[in-house]
């Protein structure tokens, strides 16, 4: 089986002819992944931000089972159902009051495509078709489909390879002021110039609030976001916030934009939305977007096959309820404190250039690229699941992780710091 996998199945961001090793998992429960050979690994990744409640959760399993007995899926064209309506009500309730309209889709990347489409269509309908370009910052990540790629960091997003296919957008430098600091002089200067010179062409700004995830796990000042929101108003540009990674408590607030007390015109959610059970995403919009898109009898031309999938929506409602009924803030802040203390010890380690922690995210940045295959092997042998990328080893465990398990994860990080 493993040989078949290696020969025929593409895995993320690795070669098909000489792939990085993939470890077969047989089951997962709580914060543990069980490999087929019987070894158990403590999960430090939440399956890329998703499994906030841990795996095989009885409440989410029940939600899946009872929905399955009604229907797994029906088309959303011309039909509707309680799972989608309930989830929509819930998401509208927990996000800023102005976001009242929701578009369900099947993945984060698609929800970003929809957000971009909404922004372009908005200006087109209002008689300003020249406003069709996006402004963003370097170091961002918004997904792997072409529209989303166009607003990812141009270098890590490999824009040169897809020149002429990926739309050219406007990029300000990566926000340099770290989270928790007042905006440093000059940090928004280039951004300001881009607004001044191009506002007639800019449909929207798109950003990951406070935490830049897959583009480098960088935490930046909430002041930066406030400045962006102010400039958007000043220059009549829409604001799209991508909380696909940060949503549902990961960065210490239910939504990271709360740190800056700003509201988006369009908000993208995904990942932890279903607690890691199924792929589901949502794009939320305010009255301004609704009215703009509907002007001149306009309609949003989008309709994924699995839009509003009942199974995913039921699990998502159960996951959101589970989160809000739990003491998630207490859990996330307990994780934060422990990550700060235990990862903080690596700050002076040779080869470590930075250690940063925000909410239930802990990052150790090295000064050179990590040999992923080798370090991954060490982690697995030590009984932990931590997946480094580039120069980064990072932890974002399920919120339900216990203190001892968390300490095993932070202790294991040292294995990535040993060279040879």
Q: Which two tokens stand for residue 59?
A: 């409440």
Residue nearest to ligand PMP (CB): 108
By CB under 6 A, name the one of 67, 105, 107, 317 that touches ligand PMP: 107
Q: What separation in angstroms does the CA of 394 have from each of 213, 282, 379?
A: 11, 26, 12
Query: Which window, 28-36, 239-247, 316-324, 349-357, contacts ligand PMP (CB under 6 A)?
Result: 239-247
Least CB distance from residue 325 to ligand PMP, whole Å? 25
Candidates 392, 387, 385, 386; CA nearest to 365 is 392
Q: Does 286 bind ligand PMP (CB under 6 A)?
A: no
By CB under 6 A, name the one of 43, 242, 265, 365 that touches ligand PMP: 242
* 55 is annotated as an active-site residue: no
Q: What are phi and psi of 257, to 5 degrees?
A: -60, -20
Q: Quick one: 292 or 398, whose CB is closer to ligand PMP?
A: 398
Q: Quick one: 172 or 207, whose CB is closer to ligand PMP?
A: 207
CA angle 84, 252, 210 (to 5 degrees): 90
* 277 is annotated as an active-site residue: no
Q: What is the DSSP letter of 57?
A: -
- State the pairing for strand pair 384-385/40-43: parallel
Residues 126-165 that bind ligand PMP (CB under 6 A): 141-143
Q: Which two tokens stand for residue 202?
A: 């800019």
Candidates 203, 261, 189; CA nearest to 232 is 203
* 377 is annotated as an active-site residue: no
Least CB distance from residue 33 to ligand PMP, whole Å? 19
Cβ partners under 8 Å of residue 216, min gap 6:
139, 153, 156, 174, 390, 392
Residues 375-404 that bind ligand PMP (CB under 6 A): none
Q: Does 245 bind ligand PMP (CB under 6 A)?
A: yes
* 13 is annotated as an active-site residue: yes
> From the candidates 141, 220, 277, 346, which is the catalytic residue?
141
Q: Cβ distance 383 to 405 under 8 Å?
A: no
Q: Quick one: 268 or 352, whose CB is closer to ligand PMP?
A: 268
Q: What is the contact surface with ligand PMP in residues (CB under 6 A)?
A: 107-109, 112, 141-143, 208, 213-214, 242, 244-245, 270
């Amino acid at each position: 089986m493993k040989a078949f996998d290696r020969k025929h199945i593409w895995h993320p961001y690795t070669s098909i002819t000489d792939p990085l090793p993939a470890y077969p998992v047989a089951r997962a429960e709580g914060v543990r992944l069980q490999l087929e050979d019987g070894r158990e690994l403590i999960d430090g990744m939440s399956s890329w931000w998703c499994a906030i409640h841990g795996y095989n959760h009885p409440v989410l399993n029940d939600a899946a089972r009872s929905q399955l007995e009604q229907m797994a899926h029906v088309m959303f064209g011309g039909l509707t159902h309680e799972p989608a309506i309930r989830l929509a009500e819930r998401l509208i309730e927990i996000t800023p009051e102005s976001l009242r309209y929701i578009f369900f889709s099947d993945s984060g990347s698609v929800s970003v495509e929809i957000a971009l489409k909404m922004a372009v269509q908005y200006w087109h309908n209002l008689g300003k078709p020249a406003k069709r370009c996006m402004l963003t910052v370097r170091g961002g990540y918004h997904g792997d489909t072409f529209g989303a790629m166009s607003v990812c960091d141009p270098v890590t997003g490999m824009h040169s390879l897809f020149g002429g296919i990926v739309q050219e957008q406007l990029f300000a430098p990566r926000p340099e002021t770290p989270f928790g600091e007042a905006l440093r002089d000059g940090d928004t200067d280039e951004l300001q110039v881009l607004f001044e010179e191009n506002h007639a062409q800019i449909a929207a700004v798109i950003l990951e609030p406070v935490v830049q995830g897959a583009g480098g796990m960088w935490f930046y000042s909430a002041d930066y976001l406030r400045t962006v929101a102010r400039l958007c108003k000043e220059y009549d540009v829409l604001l799209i916030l991508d909380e696909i990674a940060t949503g549902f408590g990961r960065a210490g607030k239910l939504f990271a934009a709360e740190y800056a007390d700003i509201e988006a015109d369009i908000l993208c959610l995904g990942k932890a939305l279903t607690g890691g059970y199924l792929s589901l995403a949502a794009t939320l919009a305010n009255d301004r977007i609704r009215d703009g898109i509907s002007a001149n009898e306009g309609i949003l031309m989008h309709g994924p096959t699995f839009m509003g999938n009942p199974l995913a929506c039921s699990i998502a409602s159960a996951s959101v309820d589970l989160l809000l009924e739990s003491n998630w803030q207490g859990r996330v802040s307990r994780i934060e404190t422990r990550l700060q203390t235990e990862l903080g010890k690596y700050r002076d380690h040779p080869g470590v250039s930075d250690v940063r922690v925000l909410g239930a995210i802990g990052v150790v940045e090295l000064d050179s690229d990590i040999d992923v295959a080798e370090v991954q092997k060490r982690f697995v042998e030590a009984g932990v699941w931590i997946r480094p990328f580039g120069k980064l080893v990072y932890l974002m465990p399920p919120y339900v992780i216990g203190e001892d398990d968390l300490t095993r994860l932070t202790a294991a990080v040292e294995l990535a710091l040993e060279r040879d």
